[in-house]
């Protein structure tokens, strides 16, 4: 049994995917890695890694991710088809440009999850209902948004809304499966849907607080990896060019 | 007419940038009264019976500050930085009214 299964989301060329997998060999055995591929069918066919799926969904392939409410539900669904029969306890989801910096990354994440007794740990997790959060206000303009949570929530306060950075997250398998299989009746941006769905399905969601500063939405941290590691970073985002040939 | 539309399309982002620069440089300085955490400078303008806020860079919750006096004469509206959720796992049990601890 492997404790952690890792899902890597990428759209890059097969050569870059192979580089990425080679790097991840330091972190986790390759048979425990699943590649969710959002690129072309031609490139997908040239990837040799056996555990992979082509994600050809307009909900993933958005241009303005926030305004078009990009969704990772097709990614999670495809990964779950592979994961459900895997004998694993945790699921680690990472975008291709979110880079692990420590070989014992999974050990640390498991330890954090155990200490926090949480089912989902992510970056920049916050409770944003009744706040000025731009995504929350945008979703609130859709009259069906809160109704969806009222229908599926097992909690008493059904209007709690959470946000979480989308580039990397660490799940207990049960929580991942429950969210992957939840039908997203109302289109939502992934940073709201994933943590809020986990919360309303009864799971405990926490933030990697001390690690938040190493996970950003803009820029490229590729030249600072050693420095970030020395500052205590477990991982870094975004690093766009590490797999370039 | 077409030139006018083009000028407006060009001016709008410039005007937005200038407004945000002004708000974040000369606006009212806000901080979370519970933690003292700085929220930044914003411009608050009455607008159609509401308050328009320009220049926020993070999510905040508006909340009236508790007061010892019983009066509507003056009341303070504060802004709180949104908390990290801290709810327990309630799978297999009914939830009671948990509130987040920041």
pLDDT score recorded for residue B2: 67
pLDDT score recorded for residue A102: 96
In a domain, A26, yes or no: yes
A57 DSSP β-pair partners: none
User: Which among A211, A179, A35, A226 is positioned nearest to A109, based on CA atoms?
Assistant: A211
Which chain A residue lies closest to B61 (C-alpha atoms)? A131
- Report the gap between the CA of A210 and the closest CA in chain B (Å): 13
pLDDT score recorded for residue B31: 96
Domain containing A182 equals: 4-236
B residues 51-80 closer than 8 Å to A (CB): 53, 56, 59-62
Residues of chain B with confidence (pLDDT) below 50: 95-102
The residue of B56, B82, B88 whose CB has the most chain A CBs within 10 angstroms, and thus the best one to mutate to test that interface, is B82
In a domain, A241, yes or no: no
User: Is cis: bond before B46, omega within 30 of 0?
Assistant: no
Q: Distance between CA A196 and CA A205 in Å, rounded?
A: 9
Residues of chain A with confidence (pLDDT) below 50: none
Burial of A58 (0-12, 13-18, 19+ CB in 10 A): exposed
Q: Distance between CA A164 and CA A172 in Å, rounded?
A: 16
pLDDT score recorded for residue B95: 47
pLDDT score recorded for residue B101: 45
Q: Distance between CA A121 and CA A227 in Å, rounded?
A: 24
Provide the CATH number for the domain around residue A118: 3.90.550
In total, how many domains does chain A have?
A: 1
In a domain, A215, yes or no: yes
In a domain, A151, yes or no: yes
In a domain, A188, yes or no: yes
Domain ranges for chain B: 2-81
CB contact under 8 A, A203 and B84: no
Q: In this predicted complex, what is the ipTM?
A: 0.90
CB contact under 8 A, B85 and A154: no
Query: Does the CB of B8 have a partner CB in chain A at under 8 Å?
Result: no
| Coil, strand or helix at A236 | strand
Contacts of A156 in chain B (CB under 8 A): 94-98
Distances (CA, A) of A37 to A14, A101, A176, B85: 10, 23, 19, 32
């Amino acid at each position: 049994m492997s404790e952690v299964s890792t899902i890597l989301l990428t759209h890059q060329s097969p050569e870059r995917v192979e580089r990425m997998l080679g790097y991840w060999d330091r972190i986790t055995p390759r048979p425990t890695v699943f590649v969710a591929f959002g690129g072309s069918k031609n490139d997908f066919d040239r990837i040799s890694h056996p555990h992979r799926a082509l994600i050809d969904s307009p909900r993933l392939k958005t241009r303005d991710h926030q305004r078009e409410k990009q969704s990772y539900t097709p990614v999670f669904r495809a990964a779950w088809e592979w994961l459900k029969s895997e004998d694993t306890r945790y699921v680690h989801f990472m975008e291709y440009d979110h880079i692990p910096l420590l070989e014992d990354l999974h050990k640390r994440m498991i330890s954090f999850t155990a200490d926090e007794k949480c089912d989902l740990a992510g970056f920049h997790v916050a409770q944003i209902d009744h706040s000025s959060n731009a995504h929350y206000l945008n979703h609130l303009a859709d009259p069906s948004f809160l109704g969806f949570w009222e229908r599926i929530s097992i909690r008493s306060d059904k209007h709690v809304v959470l946000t979480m950075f989308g580039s990397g997250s660490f799940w207990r398998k049960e929580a991942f499966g429950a969210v992957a299989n939840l039908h997203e009746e109302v289109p939502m941006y992934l940073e709201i849907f994933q943590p809020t769905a986990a919360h309303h399905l009864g799971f405990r969601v926490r933030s990697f607080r001390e690690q938040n500063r190493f996970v950003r939405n803009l820029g490229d941290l590729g030249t600072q990896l050693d420095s970030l590691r020395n500052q205590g970073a477990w991982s870094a985002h975004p690093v766009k060019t590490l797999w370039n040939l | 007419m077409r030139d006018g539309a083009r000028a407006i399309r060009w001016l709008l982002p410039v005007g937005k940038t200038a407004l945000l620069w002004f708000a974040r440089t000369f606006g009212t300085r806000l901080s979370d009264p519970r933690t003292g955490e700085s929220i930044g400078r914003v411009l608050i303008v009455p607008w159609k019976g509401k308050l328009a806020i320009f220049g926020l860079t993070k999510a905040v919750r508006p909340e009236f500050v508790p007061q010892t006096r019983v009066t509507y004469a003056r009341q303070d509206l504060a802004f709180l930085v949104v908390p990290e959720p801290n709810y327990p796992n309630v799978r297999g049990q009914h939830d009671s009214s948990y509130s987040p601890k920041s």
